[in-house]
Amino acid sequence: MDNNAKTALVATERPSNYDIKMNFSQLKQLFEALPDPRANQPNLQYPLAAMLGAALVALLCNHLNELAIAQWLADQPLAIKQHLGFPTAKTPHQTTFNRLFSRLAIGPFEWALTRHFDPQVVGTVRPRGSQAIAIDGKCQRTRAKFKAAAESEVSLNPSPGQGKATPCHLLTLFCHQLGVVLAQLALQNKEAELSVAPQLLGQIEWLGRVLTGDAIFCQRKLCAWVVEAGGDYFFAVKANQPHLEDDLKLLFEAPSKAEVARVGLEAPAPLQLTSARAATKGHGRIEVREITASSELAEYADWPYLAQVVEIRRWWQNAAGVIQQHRWLGVTSLPAQQAGLRRLLQLKRGHWGIENRLHWVRDVVFGEDKSTLHKGSGPHLLAILRNIVLNLLRLSGHERITQTLRANSRSTSRALAILGFDLNA
């Protein structure tokens, strides 16, 4: 494309082929392999796999907390209870779910989730940068308030053996194209995101994938780790990397006449910049995006595996009729041959899927921020179950999550069909 040439483009992205078995028996086997904290308890009435399976199906039927899960299960016919793994018509009470969820080991559960929804198939090779993975953290608001109150109580009334409040912050890897969670880890606070990021990234295969993230993840070590693991990165650049940000601003801002006169240059060498423009209409407004990319900094910038730098400008009209503008700067290890302007714009827009297709859905549709479950690993475990429900719905072709959950609440058979539930098996 000619220097500064502008062409219209549309940022769209289609899911790649992804073969995951939507079968309840597969998930039941996954649950059965988890360590049960009640293993030494005599006369165990309710198997772990049965309770987790019941919670999963109840969430699919829009019963969103442990009390609703217990009530939904008690109302089911004996055939469904037995298929879930309960030996008799008797089902666990809400407090039984609470105790189990608060004691279950989260690490093995997270690892089992990753193995199921991101299987590593031997012999398959993804084209470079063909699949994008977003990384972002999320704090449960009510848990944050609970944590602060609990820590305050500990400091005022210390007692032997009393520990701090449990983690309320989760760091997640989310696939742009598929809309599914691939891996997740809990941490104590937002400042710990960078310290646990390598551990989280190490849970999945990176060949042919590109990691997208906010400016907090634009770190030398993290960028080098991703590329050396076989992947690529595409991160925002802000003031946390001041020298890199200054280099990008200088590159994308043409020198003024005064600057040219000051340095004595009558005809500065033209920069190799490519640009394109896209216009979209939605939510009652028209938004224009202009993207500019360059490989000028790749040869001399002191940044690991840098291939391209990017500037994206957005213009839109607010409710008062005022035109507003936003500027975004980014860096990527993807060369122009693998990531042209269209692909870079797809990656930038696709990254926000982790906010509006995951965090928002868990907060608003599943009521995660309003959850009253605070003890032990319970909140984290329910977050995992919500992730599984979202993964199942998306991989089954259901994008309207709220509408699907409401339909399932009116007909349990719809939810069972998503899992390939066969009562005759």
CB 387 within 8 A of CB 59: no
Mean pLDDT of 97-114: 89
Q: Is the pLDDT of residue 147 over 60?
A: no
More confident residue, 69 or 259: 69
pLDDT tens track for 341-371: 999 999 999 999 999 999 999 999 998 888 7
pLDDT at 218 over 50: yes
**Alpha helix ranges (H) inside 104-252:** 106-117, 141-156, 193-201, 220-228, 242-252
Residues 371 and 186: their CA atoms lie apart, in Å, by 17
What's the CA gap between 216 and 237, in Å, rounded?
8
CA distance linking residue 55 with residue 389, whole number of Å: 10
> What pTM value is reported for the model?
0.84
**C-beta atoms surrounding 73 within 10 Å:** 23
Q: Please give the structure tokens belonging to residue 72.
A: 């939904």
> Where are the alpha helices (H) located in 104-158, listed in sequence order?
106-117, 141-156
Residue with the bigger pLDDT between 95 and 14: it is 95
Q: Which two tokens stand for residue 418?
A: 């998503």
Residue 402 has pLDDT above 80, yes or no: yes
β-pairing verdict for 323-332 and 131-139: unpaired
**Number of Cβ atoms within 10 Å of the Cβ of 417:** 14
Buried b (16+ CB within 10 A) or exposed e, 225-245: bbbebebbbbbbbbeebeebb
How far apart are the C-alpha atoms of 128 and 132, rounded to whole Å?
Answer: 10
- Tell me what pLDDT residue 327 has: 93
Q: Which of 42, 55, 61 is nearest to 96 (CA)?
A: 55
- pLDDT, residue 143, reads 53
User: By percentage, how much of the chain surpasses pLDDT 90?
Assistant: 52
Instruction: Identify the pLDDT of residue 46.
Output: 94
Out of 120-129, 291-300, 401-410, pick the least confident. 120-129
Residue 13 confidence (pLDDT) above 50: no
25 has a pLDDT exceeding 90: no
Predicted confidence at residue 4, as pLDDT, reads 41
pLDDT in tens, 253-307: 866 566 556 655 544 444 567 777 878 777 677 888 899 999 989 888 889 999 9
Q: What's the confidence (pLDDT) of residue 317?
A: 82
Q: What is the mean pLDDT of residues 108-115?
A: 86
Which H helix or E strand runs over 383? helix 378-395
pLDDT for 52 equals: 95
Q: How far apart are the C-alpha atoms of 341 and 343, rounded to whole Å?
A: 6
| Residue-level pLDDT at 187 | 81
- What is the model's pLDDT at position 189? 60
**Residue 278: φ, ψ to 5°:** -135, 140
Instruction: Please give the mean pLDDT across all residues of the chain.
Output: 83
Compute the average pLDDT of residues 141-147.
54
User: Domain ranges in the chain?
Assistant: 21-112+377-425
pLDDT score for 198: 93
Task: Look at 302 and 2; give whichever has higher pLDDT.
Answer: 302
Cα 424 to Cα 30: distance, rounded to the nearest angstrom? 21
- Candidates 405, 355, 383; CA nearest to 142 is 383
Number of other CB atoms surrounding residue 160 within 10 Å: 4
Structure tokens at 231: 């992947």
**Amino acid identity, residue 205?**
E
pLDDT score, position 71? 96
pLDDT recorded at residue 11:
36
137/123: higher pLDDT: 137
What pLDDT does 155 receive? 39
pLDDT number for residue 100:
93
pLDDT digits (tens, 9 = 90+) for 153-202: 433 344 333 334 455 688 999 999 999 999 998 886 655 788 899 999 99
Q: Look at residue 5 in the predicted model and tell me its pLDDT.
A: 40
Residue 205: per-residue pLDDT: 92
Measured distance CA(227)–CA(174) in Å, rounded? 18
pLDDT at 259: 56
Token digits for 191?
């400042």
